[in-house]
């Protein structure tokens, strides 16, 4: 068993290496109004593949194919494309989805396929809470997640000695960039702070359909949640 490595190292013999086709599937919205649209991410993927082929990495002798599919940032389109790719044996790893509602069903299913999912999004709190089970094959590489947002606010509140909090938000706020962004951020902040500081006086109010913000601030915030 040690003859071939010895010959290769000491005698200059070339040991044949079997080449493989490594199949990557990139699941992203094609809509350029989205924060992580395909046209924004594709150049980075192309550069990564170029560097892997050029440099002496473990993959430089192998072939790499990249398949792009449109998730539409939707809960059903992303998983549908993932199933199609899996059934056609066209994927070894998923990059994306990024939008939380698209990422969740793909990440849940991927553990049964034993395929990794790498996402720059998937910011919701549940992805952290159920990392060891439901989302065991998901790796998040994005700049932020909503679980860390709770830690940040908890430190700010403790620093100033504040123990009352009112969250005002729109459930569809920033949906044009990432579906459910403000809803998921507020949910994570509310329950995260509740876990970190159960004694905090905390409330929230949805601004959906609000017209007179001055009156809302006066009644929902007032002197109870503000001061000087």
What are the domain boundaries of the chain? 19-140, 146-221
Q: What is the pLDDT of residue 95?
A: 96
Identical topology for domains 19-140 and 146-221: yes
Fold of 19-140: Rossmann fold (3.40.50)
Residues 6+ apart with CB under 8 A from 172: 182, 183, 208
Q: What is the pLDDT of residue 228?
A: 53
Q: What is the pLDDT of residue 102?
A: 94
Q: What is the pLDDT of residue 10?
A: 55
Q: What is the pLDDT of residue 119?
A: 94
CATH of 146-221, one of 3.40.640.10, 3.40.50.2300, 3.40.50.300, 3.30.310.50: 3.40.50.2300
Q: What is the pLDDT of residue 97?
A: 95
Can you say whether the dihedral through the CA atoms of 214, 217, 222, 226 is positive or negative? negative
Residues in the chain with pLDDT values less than 50: 2-4, 6-8, 13
User: What pLDDT digit, counting tens, does each position of 96-114 carry?
Assistant: 999 999 999 999 999 999 9
Report cis status (omega within 30 of 0) of the bond before 164: no
Q: What is the pLDDT of residue 14?
A: 53
In what helix (H) or strand (E) does residue 108 lie, and over which residues does it extend? Answer: helix 100-113
């Amino acid at each position: 068993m040690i003859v071939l490595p010895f010959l290769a190292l000491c005698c200059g013999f070339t040991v044949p290496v079997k080449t493989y086709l490594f199949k990557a599937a990139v699941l992203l919205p094609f809509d350029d109004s989205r924060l992580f649209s395909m046209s924004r991410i594709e150049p980075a993927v192309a550069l990564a593949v170029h560097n892997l082929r050029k440099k002496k990495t473990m993959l430089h002798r192998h072939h790499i194919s990249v398949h792009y599919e449109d998730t539409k940032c939707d809960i059903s389109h992303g998983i549908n494309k993932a199933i199609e790719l899996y059934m056609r044996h066209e994927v070894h790893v998923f990059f994306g989805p990024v939008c939380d509602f698209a990422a969740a069903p793909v990440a849940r299913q991927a553990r049964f396929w034993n395929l990794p999912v790498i996402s720059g999004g998937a910011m919701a709190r549940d992805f952290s809470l159920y990392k060891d089970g439901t989302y065991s094959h998901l790796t998040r590489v994005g700049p932020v997640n909503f679980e860390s947002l709770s830690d940040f606010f908890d430190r700010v509140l403790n620093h100033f000695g504040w123990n009352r909090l009112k969250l005002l938000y729109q459930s569809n706020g920033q949906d044009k960039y990432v579906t459910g962004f403000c809803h998921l951020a507020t949910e994570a902040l509310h329950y995260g702070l509740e876990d970190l500081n159960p004694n905090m006086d905390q409330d929230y109010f949805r601004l959906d359909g609000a017209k007179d913000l001055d009156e809302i601030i006066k009644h929902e915030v007032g002197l109870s949640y503000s001061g000087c």
